[in-house]
Amino acid sequence: MEKYLNQGIKPLIEQFPVLGDILNKYDIGCTDCTGGSCLLKDVVAIHNVSPQIEADLMYEIEKAIYPERDVVKRVVTEQDLQEKKELKYSPPVKQLVDEHSLILRWLDLVEDVLAYIQVDSEQAWQWIAAGADFSRNYADKLHHSKEEDILFTYVDQSLEIIQVMYEDHDHGRSHIKQVYKAVENQDVELAEKHLLAYRALLREHIKKENEILFPWMDRNLTDTQVGQLFAQFAAVNAELQVDEKYRQFVLEVEDKLKKQVS
């Protein structure tokens, strides 16, 4: 199996088409990736599946590649289960996860803010404009720049999952550009289209990072690299100093909408 673990997943699926079906069965969508630069071992390592699923997956893959062999499934121990029980992040990566939480809080408000146009159009457009500013300067300039300019440089950036993250960021920027245009023209339809698309994109993007990419990267960072990341993130935070401003923005919208409902 060693030689196959170090081969690209797309050529392997072409050679053994059943591998695509096996990966899809475990919600690992390599068949839909455009580049296919991940090695088979990367695909297995990056996706934060349970020890039992990993054992089942590798058993099925090996059986597909070597149908003539009497393949033995790895026995999952209690220690394996305990190690995978809880997602734990290093301090700098946990900082990114916490930033995700604030971004998700804003995304959770988007639909209600759009509906609020029917109640108080002026206030709703102010929130939409402020939300676009939040997305551009907190979610993108602060948060995504930490990922693109710092965190992602610690791994092979040709990996498919990293390329997908870059693409997601670019698509998000395109949506926010259209939201600014909608605010300028007070175009409700345009605002709704791109805010809801942005919300769907970011929710899925954050899930992939929190549950797949970040745990995998954390497992491969040395203590020295964790310290470097922490210092680099602190420098970005000190330069931009936007965290409290945007935290207050989200809190204000949450409170006002809550009072409106009650």
Per-residue pLDDT tens digits for 125-156: 999 999 999 999 999 999 999 999 999 999 98
pLDDT in tens, 222-232: 999 999 999 99
Query: How many helices (DSSP H) and strands (DSSP E) are in the chain?
Result: 14, 0
What is the pLDDT averaged over residues 13-27?
Answer: 87
Is pLDDT larger for residue 250 or for residue 49?
Answer: 250
pLDDT for res 29: 63
Which helix (H) or strand (E) covers residue 91, if one does? Answer: helix 91-115
Of the chain, the percentage scoring pLDDT greater than 70 comes to 90
| Among the listed residues 61, 86, 59, 85, the one whose alpha carbon sits nearest the alpha carbon of residue 73 | 59
pLDDT interval class at 33 (50, 70, 90): low
Q: Are 163 and 38 contacting, i.e. CB atoms less than 8 angstroms apart? A: no
Would the pLDDT of 85 be above 70? Answer: no
pLDDT in tens, 35-76: 455 677 767 666 667 788 888 988 999 999 999 989 888 888
What the chain holds in terms of domains, given with CATH numbers, is 2-83 (1.10.3910), 91-261 (1.20.120.520)
pLDDT for res 40: 79
Would the pLDDT of 34 be above 50? Answer: no
Take residue 14 and report the two structure tokens written for it: 């072409």
4-13, 56-65, 82-91, 197-206: which has the highest mean pLDDT?
Answer: 197-206
What is the Cα–Cα distance from 214 to 204, expressed in whole angstroms? 14
